[in-house]
A and B are shown apart, each in its own frame.
Chain A
Amino acid sequence: MASAEHTKQGFMLSKKHKAGLLNFLSAQGILVFFLICMFAFSLTSEQFLSQSNIMTVVRQASIIGIIAVGVTVVIIGGNLDLSVGSMLSFSTVLVVDLHDKIGPVGAILVMFALTLMLGALNGLLVGFMRLNSLIVTLAMLSAIQGLVLIYSGGQNVDIANQSDTWFGVFGQGYLLGIAVPIIIFSLLAIIVQVVMSFTGYGRRIFAIGGNPVAAVYSGIRKNWCVFSTYMISAFCVACAALVLGARVMGSQNNVGQGYELLVLAGIILGGTSLLGGAGSIWKTVIGVLILGFIQNGLLLMGYPYYTQWLVTWVIIILAVWLDLANKRKRLLTRHS
């Protein structure tokens, strides 16, 4: 009797174990999908998996990636940030324009300060005044784009003497054989991931995203937490502007237009819920990289660049759908 019990338990255990593996695979569906994509592309094109190609893709994806790291924190906190695209235009134009006027160090400092002020304004309106984040950042998107145009007078800006400055190192330089944008991207991602996973601050952000009422009752200062997420987002945008400005050594005044939605696409693809309270930075990194590799893979296979948009459409909806179905354990909901 006892042994029967024992074997039953053992059987259950192994079954649980198996289910655990399946659960793990389905929970990490996006990672599996990523590997399948990489495999499929590497079959069709030899260059795809070459080190130089991978480095190129990661480098291209790093600007969206850097912004996505910050926006992920905002989204985990239960808000949205649509103003990052305009903010990127603002910061890039500012740093490039000021470079010739007050030198690279001054330009970078002023750019970071002003970008953080925009983030603080977002944070003030959403965190302290409790306004709807979607509309506030939508309004900021429009207002900041206007500010950029007023500042630049509708002109594009560039750095006059491009060979005489060390500014380009942020976009074009290499450190130990790795491109600087990739280093900035990785460093930011790792630092923010560690902060979100292992510090009390990170847990508080998850708490207010998951259940704001409970979080406030448990003594979390929600206002400050939300405020800080927008500051992180603005800081990441400033870093991205540094990379973008230094790579091009110039800037159009609408350079960041549409970035907010590409960033969101990457985040959603990674599996971070727009409802807040769940998600992680490394998922976002994978989401952004998938977008980058799909673009690159399709181009290497000879398709025009816009086919990636169609593929992105299908993948985003499938990814979120399967993720939901996995949580709900059935594919179609009953909305009647």
Chain B
Amino acid sequence: MIDIKRFMSGSAFIQPIWVFVVAITIFFSIMSDYFLSVGNLTNILVQTSTIGLIALGMTYVMINGNIDLSVGATLGLAASLSVGLQDYGITVAVLAAIATGVALGALNGLLVWKTGVNAFIVTLGAMIGVRGLIFVYTEEQSFYASNFAFSDFGASTIGPIPVLAIIFLLCTLAMHLVLKKTGHGRNTFAVGGNPEAAMDAGIRIGRNMMINFMIVGFFAALAGVLLATQMGASTPNLGRDYELWTITAVVLGGTKLTGGYGSIMGTLGGVLAIGVLRNGMNMMQVPAFYVLVILGVILIAVLIIDQQINLKSFKGVQA
């Protein structure tokens, strides 16, 4: 029933990374008494929701064949705005934070679209510059939420499940459906797979890219706001290195940097792989340092496996 070849090449509904997720889940369940409980599993979802939300948007951008390095800085700015603007009311603060994220995404997208400068360079610049914006806005201060409704939201639950986990799962479902079932999703694949063919087919490439940059900006800002509700505070350095974690998660999930290939289910697997690994190693009282090494090794292993599978269909000179 399950087509092994389709599965290994990542084009089935479930990606190879899920084997790894299931394997380490079973492993940690055996090794630690506390790992397999509803409390801990929902905890993992909450912990990963920050990187997970950004990774949803990043998947779109990377299927487009672009990359966004500025998400960590956008997250930090949104977090600072959502806490710093609370004198005007929580709603205004949160909306302003998210609008800023979307606007920064639009700016990135517009620059990639109109100037033709590589997305890597545009967003590398934005990564440095937006961090500067945070420091200009906060003047190097950390902010604390004076309104407890804000930090209560981060800790609230519906039944046994934390609200943050529900938001993450709902967003994942929505993004999965948009990618699979709508014209925008199909265009995203087309633009990443072959931009010239997409243009000839009448797809507005630039607009498609810009929308995807706005999506990732939105999710980075949303993740920033939710992270701020978890902490009840924000620091100017919040979100440093998140771009690297996010890209790691997306690549683990089987999305290709060259574009035209990827899935939200794979990204969810990649995000969970990181989350379960971190959490489980904590449970086994392994120092957090080892997670970094293991993640690096897994990332390279995924690349090698992926290459071995695709090598068979590839003929001609190797360069």
A residues adjacent to B (C-beta < 8 A) = 125, 129-132, 134-136, 138-147, 149-150, 154, 212-213, 215-217, 222, 257-258, 261, 264-265, 268, 274-275, 304, 306-310, 312-314, 316-317, 320-321, 324-325, 328, 332-333, 335-336
Are B114 and A222 interface neighbours, CB within 8 A?
no
A–B complex contacts, Cβ < 8 Å, 23 sampled: A135-B303, A136-B303, A138-B251, A138-B299, A139-B297, A142-B244, A146-B290, A146-B293, A149-B289, A149-B292, A274-B118, A306-B132, A306-B140, A307-B136, A308-B132, A310-B133, A310-B136, A312-B125, A312-B129, A313-B128, A316-B121, A332-B115, A335-B205
Specify which of A125, A150, A307 is in contact with B293 (CB 8 Å cutoff): A150
Say how far A94's CB is from chain B's closest CB, in angstroms: 15
Residues of A within 8 A of B166 (CB): none
Is B92 among interface residues, defined by CB-CB distance under 8 A?
Answer: no
Point out the residues of chain B lying under 8 angstroms from A141, CB to CB. 244, 296
In Å, the complex CA distance between A134 and B259 comes to 14
Q: Is B199 among interface residues, defined by CB-CB distance under 8 A?
A: yes
Q: Are B132 and A335 in contact (CB under 8 A)?
A: no
> Which residues of B have CB within 8 Å of A309?
128-129, 131-132, 135
Bound-state Cα–Cα, A332 to B303, Å: 36
Of A264, A325, A335, which is within 8 A of B124 by CB? Answer: A264
Smallest distance from the beta carbon of A176 to chain B beta carbons, Å?
36
When the two chains form their complex, are residues A139 and B299 in contact, meaning their CB atoms are under 8 A apart?
yes
Nearest CB of B to A291, in Å: 10
A324 near B317: Cβ-Cβ < 8 Å = no
Residue B2, interface by CB 8 Å: no
Contact A261:B307 (CB < 8 A) given known A150-B289, A150-B290, A333-B115: no
Give the residues from 201 to 215 in chain B that come closer than 8 angstroms, CB to CB, to chain A: 204-206, 209
> What CA separation (Å) do A310 and B126 show in the bound complex?
9
Distance, CA A336 to CA B187, complexed state (A): 14
Chain B interface, number of residues (Cβ within 8 angstroms): 55
Q: Judge if B319 is at the interface, Cβ distance under 8 Å.
A: yes
Give complex CA distance A100, B303 in Å.
Answer: 40
- Quick check: A145 and B300 within 8 Å, CB to CB? no
CB–CB B114/A333 < 8 A: yes
Known: A313-B129, A317-B122, A321-B115. 16 other contacts (CB 8 A): A131-B300, A134-B257, A135-B303, A139-B295, A139-B300, A142-B244, A142-B292, A146-B296, A261-B127, A268-B121, A274-B118, A312-B125, A316-B128, A325-B115, A328-B116, A335-B199
CA distance A217 to B114 in the complex (A): 36
- A310 to B130 Cα, complex, angstroms: 7
**Contact of A135 with B132 in the complex, beta carbons under 8 Å:** no
Question: C-beta contact mask, B141-166 vs A, less than 8 Å → 1, else 0?
Answer: 00000000000000000000000000
Which A residues are CB-close (under 8 A) to B299?
Answer: 135, 138-139, 142
A320 B113 Cβ-Cβ under 8 A: no
Q: A265-B124, A307-B136, A335-B205 are in contact. Are A317 and B295 (CB under 8 A)?
A: no
Interface-centre pick from A146, A261, A264 (highest chain B CB count, 10 A): A146
Knowing A134-B257, A306-B135, A309-B128 are in contact, say whether A142-B248 is a contact too (CB < 8 A).
yes
Question: Shortest distance in angstroms between A147's beta carbon and chain B's nearest beta carbon?
Answer: 6
Cβ–Cβ contact A324 & B124, under 8 A = no
Query: In the docked arrangement, what's the CA distance between A40 and B297, Å?
Result: 49
